Amino acid sequence: MPDPETMTETFDYWSYEKAASNIETEPDDPYQVFYMPEHDVEATAHFKLWEFTVTVVNGTLSTGETSKVFHPGETVGITCTPPDGYAFDKWTTDAWSLDVDDLAQTDSFIMPYEDVEITANFKAKTYHDITVEKGTAVDDKGNPVTRAATGDKVTLIAEKNTKYQRFDRWIFSPELEEEVDPTKQTLTITMPDYDLKATAQFLYAITVIHGYAQNDAGEVITEALPGTTVTLTADAPAENYVFDHWELRPTETTAAQANCVKRSAGLLDLFISKAQADDSLQVFGNVFSMPAYAVTAEAIYRPAENGGMPETGDQGNPILWILLALAAVGGLVLVRRRRKTN
C-alpha cells in the first residue's frame, strides 16, 4: 500500500520520442522490454493521480450519486434517508483502512488508498413519551405530539411572555444528554431513547406597593423564580402613621385565588391562612416564598394613635372577632380570680 505522505501518483503509460523496434510489452506496462535499435531512444514515463471508487449502499454521496471515483486525500460526503418506521443506526464498510464507527447519518470521510463500499444500516424506531409543562411539543410538520421516536426532531414551544411572566429556561427530567441552549424559548431537540419531561421555567413579577423586594443576596428585584425567598422592606410611614403589616395577593387572580389575601399579623397569620383558597401564598412577617405566578405585596399602615385593631379590612372576619372575644373573656375571668384571691 503506498504511503499517502510520499506517494500521490501511480504509473499511467510510456511514450517514445524515437521509437524502439520489437517492443514486446504494452505502453501501460511499467516494465518495457525491447531490442536496442541503431539510434538513440527517448522514453518518457507518464503518471496520474491514484483513483479509487466509492460505492454507497442504502444511501448516496453528497453529490446525489451512489458511486464515483475519488483521489486519495479527497473529502467524500455521504448521507442516507431511513425508510418509514426506521431510524439510522450506523455505517459499515469492508475497507480495512477506513474507520466509520463515529460517522453520523450525514457525514464525510477522507478517501483512502483503496476502493470503498459503505453501507447505511437502519433500525426500527422506538417511541417514548414527551411531557411538556407550560408549553407544547410539535413534530417537524408543526403537529402537537405527546410521543416521539428516538432520533426524531421535536420542537418545544414555551408559553408566551406576558406583562407578569418572562421565560427563563427549559428544565429537563431526566437531564437531556444532547447539548442544547435551554434559554431558547423555542427549542428543537433530538428525542432521546427514554421518556422525557420538559418544563418551561418562568420568572414572575413582584409588584410592591409602598416598599421594595430583595432576594437572598440583598439585591432589589422585581421578578423571581418560583421558590425564591423574597424579603420585603416597607417605605417609611407618613406622619402620624406606623407600619402595621404586609398584605400579599396574586396580581392576576383566578377563581380559586379570588379571596386569597395573606397578612403578616403575628400569630393570627397562621390561622387566617388555613381559611384561604391558596395555602402556597404565605407571608411570615416580611418574608415569603415566591409562588409560580405574579404577586402584589402591599405595605399596610395605621394611625399611630389608634390603639385598636388596624383598619385593614379584617374587621369583617368572623374568626378574628371570635378570637378577640375569647381573649376578652379570658381577661375578665383572670381579673375576677385575682379579686377573689385578694
pLDDT value at residue 77: 97
pLDDT value at residue 335: 42
Would you say how long the chain is, in residues? Answer: 342
Query: Which of 243, 221, 239, 223 lies closest to 299, judged by CA?
Result: 243
Residue 198 pairs with which residues in a beta bridge? 132, 172
Residue type (1 letter), 94:
D
Distance (Å, whole) CA 38 – CA 46: 25
Residue 120 pairs with which residues in a beta bridge? 91
204, 221 Cβ separation under 8 angstroms: no
pLDDT value at residue 10: 75
Which residues in 288-314 are b (16+ Cβ under 10 Å) and which e? bebbebbbbbbbbbbeeeeeeebebeb
The predicted model scores a pTM of: 0.58
pLDDT value at residue 27: 75
Q: Which residues of the chain have pLDDT under 70?
A: 1-8, 18-25, 35, 253-280, 306-342
Residue type (1 letter), 41:
V
DSSP character string of 45-105:
EEEEE--EEEEEESSEETTS-SEEEE-TT-EEEEE--PPTTEEEEEEEE--TT---TT--S
pLDDT value at residue 14: 80
Residue type (1 letter), 79:
T
Which residues in 96-131 are b (16+ Cβ under 10 Å) and which e? eebebeebebeeebebbbeebebbbebeebeeeebe
Phi then psi dihedrals of residue 335, to 5 deg: -65, -45
pLDDT value at residue 322: 56
pLDDT value at residue 49: 76
pLDDT value at residue 254: 60
- For the chain, what are the domain ranges? 9-49, 52-124, 127-203, 210-308
